[in-house]
Amino acid sequence: MCSPEYFAVEYAINPWMDVTTPVDRDLAVKQWDRLRETLVGLGHEVHLLTAEQGLPDMVYAANGGFVVDGTVYGARFKHEQRAAEAAAHHAFYEAQGWRFIAPSETNEGEGDFAYVPEAHGGLILAGHGFRTEIPAHAEAQEALGRPVVSLRLIDPRFYHLDVALAAIDDTNVVYFPGAFSAASQRVLTQLFPDAVIADDEDAMAFGLNLVSDGANVVLNSEATRLAGKLKAAGYTPVPVELAELKKGGGSVKCCIAELRH
């Protein structure tokens, strides 16, 4: 995770960002701290990436890489405003001793890659359409040695895979069908017949931008309907208030890069 101490909405690179809406940075830090404390309280170890001035989106740490079995496939951001973040993530992973593979193709880390480790032997789900380019899907497959399933995003509000779909345990996912092309919806139905299906209201509340440890699902507190669906499916919803960070187009998942040993 990376503190939002320099967080601001200084430019608009997704439909959620409005440069005329003020951001309360102190409140953003408080909400982010609560998210970090929630993860620690659930028994998870949180490593911190040092925020850098001039990179207001660094708080969205998930976008800086994608880790599977101790190997990191690095990020290469689409927009120049975020390009320098990639080097900070690279340095973090190298300092931690992770195997790092630098990308040649445009991709935004866990923003557009999700890992479902025991589904069909271990699948990477990969989004494209707005940020990550399709050639990055093949590059990730070579880097990580896991089959990659390409999914086309068609709604600019859901510009990253991680605002439309999330792994909720080692075999299953939750997703909003309307974010995907008809063909990609059919692929998801085939791969995950027992998926939890979200609706437009869940998605607009950033409910799908969640993190799950297989039992506890940490999600935006606004996504009350989705929390109910997850509870009915046997998971424990853990709501967290992140209204300030939502102004930049992100929520729980965007703030968390998962380190998979």
The catalytic residue positions are: 160, 254
Report yes or no: 218 and 251 within 8 Å, Cβ to Cβ.
no
CA distance 28 to 40: 19
Give the containing element (helix H, strand E) for 68.
strand 65-68
CA distance 45 to 111: 21
Give the position of tokens 């929630």: 38
Direct distance between the N- and C-terminal alpha carbons of the chain, in angstroms, rounded to an integer:
17
Q: What is the DSSP string of 182-247?
A: HHHHHHHHHH-TTPEEP-HHHHHTTTTS-EE-SSEEEEETT-HHHHHHHHHTT-EEEEE--HHHHT
Cβ contacts of residue 204 below 8 Å, gap of 6+?
A: 157
